[in-house]
Structure 1
Amino acid sequence: MQANQSIVEVAQKFNLDVTTVDMVKPDVYRLVTRTGEQHCLKRMGYPLDYLSWMDSALHDLRRQGFKSFAWRDPQAPQGKILFEMANPSDSPYILTPWLQGRHPDPTSSEDMIEVAKALSYFHLAGRAVRVSKKGEQNLLGKWPSMLKARFEVLQREVDKAKYWKGESELDLILRAHGDQLVERANKALEILKKSDYQATCKKAEREGTLCHGDSGPKNFVITAEGPSLIDFETLRIDLRVYDLFRLIRLASKKNGWDFSIAQTIVDSYCTVSELTSDEYGLLSVWLQFPGKACRILTRYERATGSKEKSEIIRKLKKAMSVEEKISPFLQKLTKYAKERCN
Structure 2
Amino acid sequence: MMREFEIERQFDIKIETLKANKGVYYLKTNKGEKCLKKINYGPQKLLFVYGAKEHLINNGFNAVDKYFLNIEGEPYALVNEDLYTLSEWIEGRECDFHNIDEVKIAARTLAMLHEASKGYDPPENSKLKSDLGRWTHLMSKRIKSFDKMRDMVRKRSNKNEFDLLYLKSMEFYKDIGRKALKTLESSEYIRLCDIAQNDKSFCHHDFTYHNIILDEENKCHVIDFDYCKREVRTFDISNFMIKVLKRVNWDINFANAIISSYNEVSPLLDIEYKVLYAYLQFPQRYWRLANRYYYNEVNWGQNTFGSKIESIINEQEDMLKFLEGFKNEYQVE
Gap change, CA 1:162 and 1:190, over 3 Å in 2: farther
Please, which of 200, 212, 222 is the counterpart of residue 214 of structure 2? 222
Q: Within 5 Å, which residues of 2 pair with 1:298-309?
A: 298-303=291-296
Q: 1:281 to 1:310 in 2, by over 3 A?
A: same
**Hey, what does 1:193 align to over in structure 2?**
185
Query: How far did residue 301 of structure 1 move?
Result: 2.6
Match of 1:239 in 2: 232
Instruction: Report the equivalent of 1:14.
Output: 11
2-side partners of 1:237 and 1:16: how far apart? 34
CA contact (8 A) 1:16 1:78 kept: no
Cα separation, partners in 2 of 1:208 and 1:160, compared to 1, 3 Å: same
| Matched residue, 2:44 | 49
Cα 1:92–1:306 change in 2 (3 A) is closer
| Mapped contact 2:96–2:102 kept (Cα < 8 A) | yes
The root-mean-square deviation of aligned C-alpha atoms, in Å, is 2.8
Higher share in helix:
1
What is the DSSP-based 3-state SS (H/G/I as helix, E as strand, rest coil) of the residue aligned with 1:176?
A: helix
- Partner Cα distance (2:299, 2:21) in 1: 29
Q: Deviations over 1:307-332 (max 9, x none)?
A: 85664344322322322321111112
What is the aligned-residue identity percentage? 23
Residue type matched to 2:89 in 1? W
Deviation sequence 1:15-44 (CA, Å, 0-9, x none): 221121111123x11111246x21100111
Shift of 1:155: 2.7
Look up the SS of the partner of 1:21 in the other structure. strand
* SS of structure 2 residue aligned to 1:43: strand
Indicate the SS of the match to 1:20.
strand
Asked if 1:31 is matched to 2:27, the reply is yes
Instruction: Name the counterpart of 1:322.
Output: 315
Residue 135 of structure 1 aligns with which residue? 127
Measure the CA separation in 1 of the matches of 2:128 and 2:299. 38
Tell whether the 8 Å contact from 1:303 to 1:309 is kept in structure 2 after alignment.
no
Counterpart of 2:247 in structure 1 is 254
Task: Quickly say closer, same or farther: Cα 1:93–1:165, change in 2 above 3 A.
Answer: closer
Which consecutive unaligned segments of at least 5 residues does structure 2 have?
Answer: none
Letter in 1 for 2:144: E
Displacement of 1:95 in angstroms is 0.6
Distance 1:230 1:29 in 2: 14
Q: Look up the equivalent residue of 2:190 and give its one-letter code.
A: Q
1 CA distance for matches of 2:103 and 2:71?
A: 32
Q: Distance in 2 between matches of 1:127 and 1:305?
A: 35
Partner AA of 2:193 in structure 1 = C
| 2:61 maps to 1:66 | yes
Q: Which piece of structure 1 moves more, 132-141 or 273-282?
A: 132-141
Question: Which of 35, 46, 54 is matched with 1:40 structurally?
Answer: 35
Aligned partner of 2:76 in structure 1 is 83
Q: How does 1:109-188 map to 2 (within 5 A)?
A: 109-132=100-123, 134-158=126-150, 167-188=159-180
Please say if residues 64 and 129 of structure 1, whose CA atoms lie closer than 8 Å, have aligned partners that are also in contact. Answer: no
Deviation at 1:282, TM superposition (A): 1.0
Structure 1 gap ranges (5+): none
Residue identity matched to 1:253: K
Deviations 1:258-299 (A, max 9, x none): 121121111100001111222111111121111111112222
> Aligned equivalents of 1:286 and 1:304: distance in 2?
23
Matched, 1:212 2:209: no
